[in-house]
Chains A and B, each alone.
Chain A
Amino acid sequence: MSAASLSSSINVIRSASFVSDKSALVSNARPSSSSSAFLGSTAKLRFNPLSSPAASLRSSVVAAAAASNVVKEKQPKSSPSGSHLLITKEEGLELYEDMVLGRAFEDMCAQMYYRGKMFGFVHLYNGQEAVSTGFIKLLKQEDSVVSTYRDHVHALSKGVPARQVMSELFGKETGCCRGQGGSMHMFSKEHNLIGGFAFIGEGIPIATGAAFTSKYKREVLKEEGCDHVTVAFFGDGTANNGQFFECLNMAQLWKLPIIFVVENNLWAIGMSHLRATSDPQIWKKGPAFGMPGVHVDGMDVLKVREVAKEAIGRARRGEGPTLVECETYRFRGHSLADPDELRDPAEKARYASRDPITALKKYMIESNLASEAELKAINKKIDELVEDAVEFADASPPPRRSQLLENVFADPKGFGIGPDGRYRCEDPKFTEGTAKV
């Protein structure tokens, strides 16, 4: 594909995706092979796998999802050297390193879990790295990321050191939350990561609140140029939750600088997205509330990055929220305790062949952005980093007993602040509380 046609297809994306005019999206529909559409393997879950209800559902999904093929057909991966490249070498290496870090870290987590070093609920992100890297690497430190329980890789992409994340998972004192949060509750004030919600849908209003704060700081507190954006990551199952719809409404109503990113991996534990959702195309829910809804191939980090650039730019300029649906897949089960029996192995194989890391590697080598040796060196560096993180976590002490009762309140004993502005419990005349270690 020549540079001209590549850029014209990007323009088509722009007009198709970011105008909340439904007809523009549908008019680009072309019939396509069902192998590229995100249909999931519901075949063995229905009595008649190819009976008319399923088939008609599939065809309607294909027809409208074909609108998103405009994005798919851009296919920068198959257009190597000489054309208009989407990334520079530095950017490419950064993206590669981040995705490899995510993958290596998660694989190590699985190992550690089966060796008993990690416990409880651990939800791994293998396969979805393109979404995290594609969005978070475009953010500044002051921008916020709000995630769910599948938050290790969001934490790593946002800049939380691997050592701190691993220690937190081991439940050690040196973890980012001193061992008090665990796998599902990663918080980092420094990196503006609120990774911590076990309840699906709970993080979406929080993210909307962070966006609200950004707008409030600019308009009420008059902090010039405060243009922090918030990215909220959540799954396909969450898109059926009430809090999601309440926040789509309020974010658009008040034009908040937020991007709602749906990581549609088709499965909510064992519930297929198609069995749970009346209209499975989540991006359509954006225009229903007045904001643009975009569907993107979440296995391709460059496509995700293009869409992310546009959405983040919109939010920074004050044009309001965007809903981005990323079609992606988790290679492992929902959590390490999930036997993962319901998913069709053929579906898994199909997505495994679209591994985002392999795809980026192929692109970079074919575009002469990097050599095999350079990429291997990155792999080795990451392996060493992850090993070091494990050693650090292993060697770290567990929390002291006195830590049990700490940090329930920000206020040391919970008696509030006096009229002089100091904590009341610091006043020697004030009696103490009853909690003792």
Chain B
Amino acid sequence: MLSILRRKATAGGSDAVLLRERLRKSCAPATTRLQGYATAAKEMMVRDALNTALDEEMSADPRVFLMGEEVGEYQGAYKVSKGLLQKFGPERVVDTPISEAGFTGIGVGAAYYGLRPVVEFMTFNFAMQAIDQIINSAAKTNYMSAGNISVPIVFRGPNGAAAGVGAQHSQCYAAWYGSCPGLKVLAPYSSEDARGLLKAAIRDPDPVVFLENELMYGERFPVSAEALDSSFCLPIGKAKIEREGKDVTITAFSRMVGLSLEAAEILAKEGISAEVVNLLSIRPLDRPTINASVRKTNRLVTVEEGFPQNGVGAEIGMSIIEDSFGYLDAPIERITGADVPMPYAANLERMALPQTEDIVRAAKRVCYRSLPMTATA
């Protein structure tokens, strides 16, 4: 509630700060309360979670190496690879020229021959220059060679919108990569997710697209002692129920999980108990978990940052219709980014991305508890 009032009061104020404020409020309280940790919570930033995961996997297996722009001497464009060059040397932390197609292909070629590269894209927008290598030579090769040549490579980097970076730096690629057989696509939310999934991705014998989020790098989350162990890894293809509920299922991934948890808090005060499912894995999608949740609550709202047509929400919706149609008590709602390239102006950008109140309104609509449209701000 507080965040909605704040937004009305400071319309046009410094929205980047506001965004981070809201995230901070949503992330920390929600997760500590809802996840039972065995020991007292130590906090860790997502950036540090990724850094420690890379560090541990590179120490454990000399075939793992990191390659990308500014990963070495610059300590990482977003400081995710800080300290790795000093520790492992320039042969294992390779600064590349600005040649995405070239160095991605080099990574894929190295993976064909048994090394385990981690290719960093400064953002996944730049990966479009290398998408031929990702799809045609990485994703399809195990199939085309009938299992002769596997490709144990990880493509990672920030995905989705940041703050005010414009149309060419803000696209969410989850739906594009998620539609391609031969790829595994992961999208962590918290630090534990980031650590566990990155370790699983590096150990995996197949190409993994690891979608991080720039705005999440600086967020702190509590981590359990189990998560800090160097053999910790999360399963690929399993979603996590972040918050249990019984009235409506809200599915989300990456930064949208935070907004969904915030929305769930607001809904709880109005008597709607929302179940928030953190997808974690876009491909393979954890259809059993999502279906089980919808069969329990009978209502579904899917949330994603990307463009609406052919999005992740469309796939989840169809999956529910195929498997659990009889259990639905209301049409499925999807909350997505606006069907426009991301505008620059701060107020337009805010309108182009899902906000907490959008999720709240959608949940109320599926519960047939919404107010008529004219009454909403």
Contact = CB atoms under 8 A, between A and B. Distances in A.
Interface of A: 144, 146, 176-181, 185, 187-189, 194, 196-199, 202, 204-214, 216, 219-221, 242-243, 246-247, 249-250, 253, 406-411, 413-419, 421, 424, 430-431, 433-434
B31 interface: no
Given A189-B145, A417-B200, A430 B182 contact: no
Interface string B118-149: 00000000000000110011000111111111
A205 B144 contact: no
Given A185-B144, A209-B109, A410 B91 contact: no
B287 interface: yes
A209 B110 contact: yes
B154 to A, nearest CB: 12
A177 B235 contact: no
B142 A407 contact: yes
B101 A206 contact: no
Which of A207, A210, A407 counts the most chain B CB atoms within 10 A? A407
A213 B113 contact: yes
Given A213-B113, A247-B105, A196 B144 contact: yes
B308 interface: no
B65 interface: yes
A202 B142 contact: no
Which of B102, B137, B201 counts the most chain A CB atoms within 10 A? B102
B164 interface: no
Contact of A246 (B101, B146, B184): B101
Contacts of B141: 187, 196
Contact of A411 (B63, B148, B205, B287): B205
Given A410-B205, A415-B284, A209 B149 contact: no
Interface of B: 62-63, 65, 91-92, 96-97, 99, 101-115, 132-133, 136-137, 141-152, 181-182, 184, 200-201, 203-206, 231-233, 235-238, 284, 287-288
A205 B235 CA distance: 31
27 contacts: A187-B148, A189-B145, A194-B149, A202-B105, A202-B136, A202-B137, A205-B104, A205-B109, A206-B137, A207-B109, A208-B102, A208-B105, A209-B108, A216-B65, A216-B91, A220-B62, A243-B101, A249-B99, A250-B97, A250-B106, A407-B147, A408-B142, A409-B182, A409-B205, A416-B203, A416-B233, A431-B288
B111 to A, nearest CB: 8
B105 A213 contact: no
Contacts of B109: 146, 194, 205-213
B59 to A, nearest CB: 13
A196 B145 contact: yes
A209 B238 contact: no
Given A205-B106, A247-B102, A216 B235 contact: no
